[in-house]
Structure 1
Amino acid sequence: MSESTDAAACGRRGGRTVSKSTPDEVMELACGLPLTRSVLRSVVADATPGQLGVLADLFRAENASRTESRRARLIRNAGFPCVKGFDGYDWGMASFPADWGREQLMDLGFVDRAEDLVLYGDVGCGKTHMAIATGMLACERGMPVRFFTASSLVMRLRRARDENRLDAELRAIGRARLLVIDELGYLPIDIDGARLLFQVVADSYEKRSVVFTTNLEFGRWGEVFGDGDMAAAVIDRIVHHGRIVRFRGESYRNSHSLMR
């Protein structure tokens, strides 16, 4: 191929534009792909500019496809009850701590630091929506997430224990970087279930972030765990590396109800 012909091929190939890339850029794009590095390095070293462009475009497309597949898999495995994001979210009912707010929530730095969040307040004010949207955002950024209601988590753990696979279930939950426990306190939990729930919280301490949604202030968490000392131990862990976002206002479901 002549120099002029190759230069033209570098710009367009088969009716489409081909990117211009250096050997180092191509190697970098292939970094996460299952390719033999020595073979690829040899091919890249002998490639023309047009061939480098084709390789770069191929690797970019493959990386984009893998990223999207991973995102979809993380969202599917998280167990969200529905898909919710922050677009159109009503922030007016959420009150953040003075030194921590919406920007810090959405940059997910608290997940990197294994810090906890308690979304506390009135029913229907957007606590679960915020928890799901935060989890979705984490999945979008490649973080494993698990979502449970408190009652469904207890039932899952109880079933795993009865089937002699509790350790395996705890390990599976422990692979998440963000764990959401929704509706804590909405349904009663017996002391046996409370101990199982405590085990998850204790195992998560300083290892992964836990987001709780609840309509109960800390002083009433003893009602959930059926044991004041156990509740105090949970609260102590949350308060050490955690924050509270408070919700106040009229229930969104009531204000948008057809029965008015």
Structure 2
Amino acid sequence: MRRALLTLLFALTPLHAAELTLDLPGGPRIWDTDTLLAHPQARDVAITADVTYKTTMHYRAVPLAALLEGVTPDQHLQAVALDGFAAELPAAPLLNRRGSRAWLAVEDPSKPWPPLAKGKPSAGPFYLVWTDPQAADIGPEQWPFQVAKIRTLPSAAERFPALRPAGNASPAVVAGFALFQKNCLACHRLNGAGDAQFGPDLNIPHNPTEYLAGDFLPRYIRDPQSLRRWPQGKMPGFSREVISDAELGQLIGYLRHMADRKVTP
């Protein structure tokens, strides 16, 4: 009986306030849930077609630009999640005040968000969401959830030379490199380079272009579970709305190019 009462009490206890670390040019700062919920610019926002929950969601959120003290449009940021997901984010869209606008959604401990799946936590305590994302071509990897830290860094190409294509690479390969940074680097490393702790390296020991022949690699990127079905699979599919067929060809062209540029970590 005592155990049952303790279990019920635990279930009814609100979540604890969480903390978000911002490491920016103006200096590091830690924001907690209560302070963000009471922020003078906090407001209720409706997010249609939420990337994570796949439905319309309503959040209490702060315009991310209001928190990015000292950040300029030419800079680069990284949002690091609790599970090792590391989203690479150009600063310019994050600072927008109109069009595509970034918001830091804050989970109220007294009103927790839905779980991501049965037995899983929610997207909180902090989730980067967008209003009108189409205006700036914001992709799904630019919606990191369970965010623990946001920091300014040099761009990925500057930090990790092992990711770069050869200097004489074609424009299509260079375009594929940009697509890789936007859509793949949040989860994967390549040549051991990158900050993500989530997915496997895409060049070492083998590049996917070396073992997925024919149209299998494009099919895998479009719908991973169509080729390898397993309950714990986490890689999302990339629709034509996110990556067009032409862009998918450029991305695969970059991967094929890098298969000849393996670097031992």
TM-score of the aligned structures, taking structure 2 as reference length: 0.24
Q: Which has the higher strand share?
A: 2
Greater relative contact order, per chain length (Cα 8 Å cut-off, separation 6+): 1
Q: Which has the higher helix share?
A: 1
Considering only CA atoms, is the larger Rg found in Structure 1 or Structure 2?
1
